[in-house]
Homo-oligomer: A and B are copies of this chain.
Amino acid sequence: MSIDQGIATRDVRDYLLALQDRICEAVAAEDGGADFAEDAWTRDHGAGRDGADRQETAVLGGGGRTRVLRGGAVFEQAGVNFSHVTGARLPPSATAARPELAGRRFEALGVSLVIHPENPHVPTSHANVRFFVAEKEGAAPVWWFGGGYDLTPYYPVHEDVVNWHRTARAACLPFGEAVYPRYKSWCDRYFFLKHRDEPRGVGGLFFDDLNEWGFERCFEFLRAVGDSYLGAYLPIVRRCKDQAWTRRQREFQLYRRGRYVEFNLVYDRGTLFGLQSGGRTESILMSLPPLVAWRYDWQPEPGSEESVIYDYLEPRDWLAEDIAEQP
């Protein structure tokens, strides 16, 4: 499992930067009304907090490119973040499942994005691809990949959900029949709001701690996931973006966005890792929707169009659904 860390990191970094470019370009083109603004930041300046309370789980250095598109014709907010940081000690959120790595120095690179469309007919989507290396004196470095993408519709369209999962499966298939089912089910378990007893959306892929295939093959898988995101999401955007929406539908979207906030602030490993490791707060919380509503004890009326999503949230085998292949 030993790798030349310098070469590995450089290759992953090159891929991630190019991926960020490609995604931003395609998303801005799809939007047609606004473009991304970029904040290039480094840990030493313009990065917000510093001093005492960062020392514990300190991010030592690094930086990133945060890109945000706001107030577009289609996308109310799209944030696509690249970051590459090094730290003195892996924070708890990164070692909960692997206590043997606690306290190691680390290097972390990733692209993370969340896209919040304005039109309630267009689902929100999230994608992330990341690479970690954890080191300590006298031991070989431990590296792993993680990532995935998931879809959060408000008014789900059956074909869209099935095609989203078909694209995810197609990306996984070259790596074995077992890969999609494994990471699909991990996604269902991961994006889950315990306190609501409710998944965040209709799922997709989630993987972490991936190093079992060797560096080259794992990196290839990371690219397969990263490269397939636009093809999974943009066809859905294209199909839904011109659909008219009502005030009631918009209010429902704002209400459901509350679940997104609850998940990200209470459970999300990436968010907690960022906040705990002294990351750049504005880049981390860029995932939060621009406008959100909470409404005490609201329930959809049975049979209403707002009740449909609640059926879709129940995890199921989307590939077993009998619909025509996407044209």
Measured CB to CB, the residues of A under 8 A from B are 39, 48-49, 53, 66, 68, 70, 77, 79, 194-197, 254, 258, 261-262, 265-266, 275, 281-282, 284-286, 288-297
Whether A275 and B195, one on each chain, are in contact in the complex, defined by CB atoms closer than 8 angstroms, is yes
Chain B positions within 8 Å of A282 at CB level: 296-297
Min Cβ gap A133→B in Å is 25
Whether A53 and B290, one on each chain, are in contact in the complex, defined by CB atoms closer than 8 angstroms, is no
| A292 CA to B289 CA, complexed, in Å | 9
Chain B positions within 8 Å of A77 at CB level: 296
| A77 CA to B265 CA, complexed, in Å | 22
Q: Which of B285, B296, B297 contacts A262 (CB 8 A)?
A: B285
Whether A195 and B281, one on each chain, are in contact in the complex, defined by CB atoms closer than 8 angstroms, is yes
| Contacts known (A194-B53, A262-B265); A295 close to B285, Cβ less than 8 A | no
| A66 CA to B297 CA, complexed, in Å | 11
Chain B positions within 8 Å of A68 at CB level: 296-297
| A262 CA to B264 CA, complexed, in Å | 10
Number of copies: 2
| Contacts known (A196-B281, A261-B265, A275-B266); A290 close to B293, Cβ less than 8 A | yes
Rank and list the top 9 A-B pairs by shortest CB-CB distance, nearest first. Answer: A265-B265, A288-B294, A282-B297, A195-B275, A49-B197, A292-B292, A68-B296, A195-B281, A291-B293
Identify 17 residue pairs between A and B in the complex whose beta-carbon atoms are under 8 Å apart, listed by A's number: A49-B195, A49-B197, A53-B194, A70-B295, A194-B275, A195-B284, A196-B281, A266-B266, A282-B296, A286-B296, A288-B294, A290-B294, A291-B291, A291-B292, A292-B292, A292-B293, A292-B294
Min Cβ gap A304→B in Å is 19
Among A53, A292, A295, the most chain B Cβ lie within 10 Å of the Cβ of: A292
Given contacts A70-B295, A285-B294, A290-B294, 4 further A-B contacts (CB under 8 A): A290-B293, A290-B295, A291-B292, A292-B292
Min Cβ gap A2→B in Å is 36
Min Cβ gap A180→B in Å is 27
Chain B positions within 8 Å of A262 at CB level: 265, 285
Chain B positions within 8 Å of A194 at CB level: 49, 53, 275
| A53 CA to B196 CA, complexed, in Å | 12
| A3 CA to B289 CA, complexed, in Å | 49
Q: Which of B49, B261, B291 contacts A261 (CB 8 A)?
A: B261
Chain B positions within 8 Å of A266 at CB level: 265-266, 275
| A284 CA to B53 CA, complexed, in Å | 29
Chain B positions within 8 Å of A258 at CB level: 288
Closest to A288 in B: B294
Chain B positions within 8 Å of A285 at CB level: 262, 294
Min Cβ gap A285→B in Å is 7
Chain B positions within 8 Å of A284 at CB level: 195
| A68 CA to B298 CA, complexed, in Å | 12
